[in-house]
Amino acid sequence: MKLMVVTILIISIILCRYAYALGIATDYGSEVVNVPLNQKTAFFSFRLQNMEDEETTVMIDVNSEKNITKLLNESKYTLAPVTRGSEFLIELTTPEDAKEGDVYNVTISIKQVSKQEGQVKVGQGIGKKFQVKIEGNESPFYSPLKREESRKIINETENSSSPTSFAIVKENNVDFSIIFAVLIILTVLIAVYLYRRRSM
């Protein structure tokens, strides 16, 4: 058995079994970022989550066609244990020669830096792709707070314990006390008018 007498190779010994849990959260619909032609810069944000009990260090790399992106945070970042919502910003700069309809592909690459040494380490990487689309000069942004025909949005003043400062109320929510007050006033006015007319 020739194999039995040749050199033994030891590749690694596993000492511990960590788990990685890295997440990247982005706004719904952000796969395409519309930027008006006359708007020189725009921003794309994403949030990182680390739900492990230990801190983890990540390397963030952003690449794009025509180099239109710039990460506004440090490219090496340590996430605290059980962290949600660490926000990162990418500045998007419209190229000088950009024209309406141009599309630029952007790739975000996030890699965990392994803390283990001397083994066959296997790290985790998450990639995120989106496109930057150049649009006409009119603002393409829409309000996420859509109005419904039968409803209007008002400031909520009833209770500060509300989760938000706004409330959506039904438009046909008529306050009857106001109606009755108006009726009473009208009645009094007519009565006064009649009384005066009679005494004339």
Partner 1 sequence: MKSIKIGISLIAVIVSVTMLYFNIPVFGDSSDTTIVSATLTNRAPDVYALSTISAQDPAEGTTKTVVFNCSVQDLDGISEVTVVNATFYKATETNRTDSTCSVVETVNTTAKKYECSIDMQFYDTTGEWNYQCYAQDASSSSDTMSSTFTYNSLESWTMTPTSIGFGAIYLGGTDIGATDDPITLTNIGNHDFSGVIQVTALDLTGATNSTQYIPAGNFSVKTTDAHGGNAMVNNTAVTISSTSLPKGADSTEALYFYIEEVPSSGLSYQIYNTAGLGQWTISTA
Question: Per CB under 8 A, does 57 bind partner 1?
Answer: no
Count other C-beta atoms under 10 Å from residue 56's C-beta: 22
Does 143 help bind partner 1 (rule: CB under 8 A)?
Answer: no
Q: State which of residues 114, 131, 133, 135 lies at the interface with partner 1 (CB under 8 A).
A: 114
CB of 75 to partner 1, least distance (A): 16
CB 58 within 8 A of CB 86: no
Q: Is residue 26 near partner 1 by the rule CB under 8 A?
A: yes
Find the binder of partner 1 among 37, 47, 71, 131 (CB under 8 A): 47
- Which residue carries 């314990």 as its tokens? 161
| Amino acid in the structure at residue 105 | N
| Closest CB to partner 1 among residues 96, 164 | 164
Q: Report d(CA 119, CA 133) in Å as an integer.
A: 44
Site string for partner 1, 67-86 (x = CB under 8 A): -----------------xx-
- The sheet with strand 83-93 has its strands ordered as 41-50, 83-93, 69-71
Of positions 96, 117, 138, 149, contacts partner 1 by CB under 8 A: 117
- Residue 47, classified by CB atoms within 10 Å of its CB into exposed (0-12), middle (13-18) or buried (19+), is middle
Contact yes or no for 89/69 (Cβ under 8 A): no
Site for partner 1 in 83-102 (CB under 8 A): 84-85
Told to check if 155 binds partner 1 by CB under 8 A, we report no
Under the binding rule (CB under 8 A), the answer on residue 166 touching partner 1 is: yes
138 part of the interface to partner 1, by CB under 8 A: no
